[in-house]
Structure 1
Amino acid sequence: MNNTLLNYYEAIERASADMLEAARNGQWDEVVKLEGACAVLIAQLKNAAHTEALQQDETKVKSRIMQRILLNDAEIRHLAEPWLEDLDMMMSGKSKTLH
């Protein structure tokens, strides 16, 4: 069983979970930093995937990991929406009105 590719998926999952924790705490600079780390890991994974392949049982583990990463990503995006709306308002020169 070749664990190298799975190690990359697990590292990406850990970074994704760390990003979610930072987003929950409003630490957006940390989210951006971790996103950069994820990009590096994904590039390394793609490179390693050219010479290695997952076994059938590893593919099932990969699928579970990917589902958790996607759930983390969805929650991060949900948490980021108000921040992005505020940024959009600031960039357009509009102020947020409270009712």
Structure 2
Amino acid sequence: MPEMLIDYYKAIENSSAKMLEAARLKDWDEVVRCEGACAVLIEQLRYQSQQQELEPAQRKEKARIMQRILRNDAQIRVLAEPWLTQFEHLFEGQLQVMH
């Protein structure tokens, strides 16, 4: 369990890296699991950020961590796009029937 606020950012970055690795392996179930872990950590971070503040040096570290998380997210989106397109095509015919 993270104790300092910066530890939550590090844990989110770690989950983000795991998501990217799973996406590279096309393990979409694992991507979803890691995404769920990230969501929990983000909620905990929101709560903890009301109780604690980052030190100036930690704010710089947070900025670097956030940049890495955003880079991971962008790469995950690129890897997931073909899968999402394929997924949409599976339901195209069924969605038209429903309307």
TM-score strictly above 0.5: yes
Per-residue CA distance 1:33-68 (angstroms, 9 max, x = gap)? 010000000000000000100111110000000000
2:67 aligned with 1:67: yes
Q: Which amino acid aligns with 1:83?
A: W
Unpaired runs of 5+ in structure 2? 95-99
Q: What is residue 97 of structure 1 aligned with on the other side? A: none
Alignment of 1:7-46 (within 5 A): 7-46=7-46
Q: What is residue 92 of structure 1 aligned with on the other side? A: 92
Shift of 1:8: 0.3
| Identity within the alignment, % | 55
- Report the Cα distance in structure 2 between the residues aligned to 1:93 and 1:25, rounded to whole angstroms: 29
- Report the Cα distance in structure 2 between the residues aligned to 1:38 and 1:68, rounded to whole angstroms: 14
Shift of 1:93: 2.3
Secondary structure of 1:84's counterpart equals helix
- Report the Cα distance in structure 2 between the residues aligned to 1:74 and 1:25, rounded to whole angstroms: 16
**Which has a greater percent of helix?**
2
Q: How many residues align?
A: 92
Secondary structure of 1:93's counterpart equals helix
Q: What is residue 51 of structure 1 aligned with on the other side? A: 51
